[in-house]
Every structure is written in structure tokens, then in C-alpha cells.
Amino acid sequence: ATVVVAKWVKEMDNDKLASELASGGAPLELAVPTDDLGVAETPVR
């Protein structure tokens, strides 16, 4: 799920994505593109 989310998040938040991946990728699910779209696309967990 994280990979799928990260894939399309990369198109909007490349810098943010890089930070999340560098941090282990865990915060990625918590910092889902909710701030970009205003919609949480993460319940795939």
C-alpha cells in the first residue's frame, strides 16, 4: 500500500517523499497526501 501511495505522491510531493523514504518510509502513511488533496487515500493499510 505504501509503495502505491508513494508512487503517486511522488508526482506531487517529491521532496516530501524523499524525506519519508529516507526516514524509513514509515511516516509516509501518517503524512499521506491529505495536505495536498485534502482527502486521505491511505486506508489501504
The residue ranges of every structural domain in the chain are 7-37
Residue 15: its pLDDT value, please? 72
Distance CA 33, CA 41 (A): 7
- Tens-place pLDDT, residues 8-24: 655 556 676 677 666 66
Residue 41: its pLDDT value, please? 60
Greatest alpha-carbon span in the chain = 24
Element (H, E) at 7: helix 2-12
pTM of the model: 0.24
Average pLDDT, the chain: 58
Residue 42: its pLDDT value, please? 57
Please state at what angle helix 14-22 crosses helix 2-12, rounded to 10 degrees.
140
